[in-house]
Structure 1
Amino acid sequence: MGFNKDRFLLTWVVLFFFWVSATALLSPKGVNFEVQALMGIKEFLDDPHGVLDNWDEAAVDPCSWNMVTCSLDGLVISLGAPSQNLSGTLAPSFGNLTNLQLVLLQNNNISGHIQK
């Protein structure tokens, strides 16, 4: 069983592809841009029932967080927190969720505009 140069090269190409796709949303400091945007949103909200308690700024992936839905590619596409007794204002960081397609925040006390 000798060294197969083509197989070795293919393995490195595949590994590089996975590394690039895993780090595409990371800032130079290794922080996911979507995590930063969601944490900015959380900062502007009063959450008396703790529905956003599992939102963790140290996380790399927000796809398992309450009220967050992600695409198959792991991008935040929906934020749904209707009737959760949230109050406050919409954070400017909403505009940083560039793949966001659906926002459900009805029956809360949130004011402001989503700006892109």
Structure 2
Amino acid sequence: MTMRGAKAALCFMAFLCSWTYGNGLLSPKGVNFEVQALMDIKESLVDPHGVLDNWDDDSVDPCSWTMVTCSPESLVIGLGTPSQSLSGTLSPSIGNLTNLQIVLLQNNNITGAIPRDIDSLSKLHTLDISTTSSLGEFPPLLAT
């Protein structure tokens, strides 16, 4: 590679890194925050039928995972796991899915409190936890 080619490649890599960090999806260590949040959610749930088996913590793009909906910009906007016999608790990491608009958890056996972190989801317009086991009190903003 010529010096000019190496310089062009280095400039492209710098642009790509700054664009990716600017979008807020990757940490300085290259970890996708959405993948980490979804893996935390998966780890807090009991999944007897393996519906979340293709959620892979080595992935950089969760948009191909079952039960996950993404925007055209590849941002997680929906989490839909209705009627999957899931139990366990809902991880506070759900609050890290900052583009989340829809959460469908109805007809599961999830228990515990609804994480207060869900209040930080300014784009959330649908949260369906109907006929889900006891999730305790709603965080203050959701209760209004």
Deviation at 1:30, TM superposition (A): 0.5
Runs of 4+ in structure 1 deviating by more than 3 angstroms, as ranges, are 18-24
- 3-state DSSP of counterpart to 1:77: strand
- 3-state DSSP of counterpart to 2:62: coil
Describe how 1:79-98 pairs up with structure 2 within 5 A. Answer: 79-98=79-98
Structure 2 residue runs without a partner (length 5+):
1-7, 118-144
Q: In the alignment, does 2:84 pair up with 1:77?
A: no
- Give TM-score, length-normalised by structure 1: 0.81
Describe how 1:1-116 pairs up with structure 2 within 5 A. Answer: 16=15, 19-23=17-21, 24=23, 25-111=25-111, 112-116=113-117
Q: State the structure with bigger RCO (CA 8 A, min sep 6), 1 or 2.
A: 1
- Give TM-score, length-normalised by structure 2: 0.66
More displaced, 106-115 or 71-80? 106-115
- Aligned-partner Cα distance in 2 for 1:73–1:19: 17
Structure 1 residue runs without a partner (length 5+):
1-8
- Aligned-partner Cα distance in 1 for 2:30–2:17: 13
Deviation at 1:28, TM superposition (A): 1.4
Against the structure 1 CA distance between its residues 73 and 21, is the aligned structure 2 distance closer, same or farther, given a 3 Å change threshold?
farther
- Aligned-partner Cα distance in 2 for 1:89–1:106: 14
Q: CA RMSD in A?
A: 1.9
CA distances 1:33-67 after superposition (whole Å, capped 9, x unpaired): 00000000001000010000000001000000000
- 3-state DSSP of counterpart to 2:116: coil
CA distances 1:4-49 after superposition (whole Å, capped 9, x unpaired): xxxxx9xx68x93x55444531011111000000000001000010
- 3-state DSSP of counterpart to 1:63: helix
**More helix per residue:** 2
- Aligned-partner Cα distance in 2 for 1:28–1:61: 17
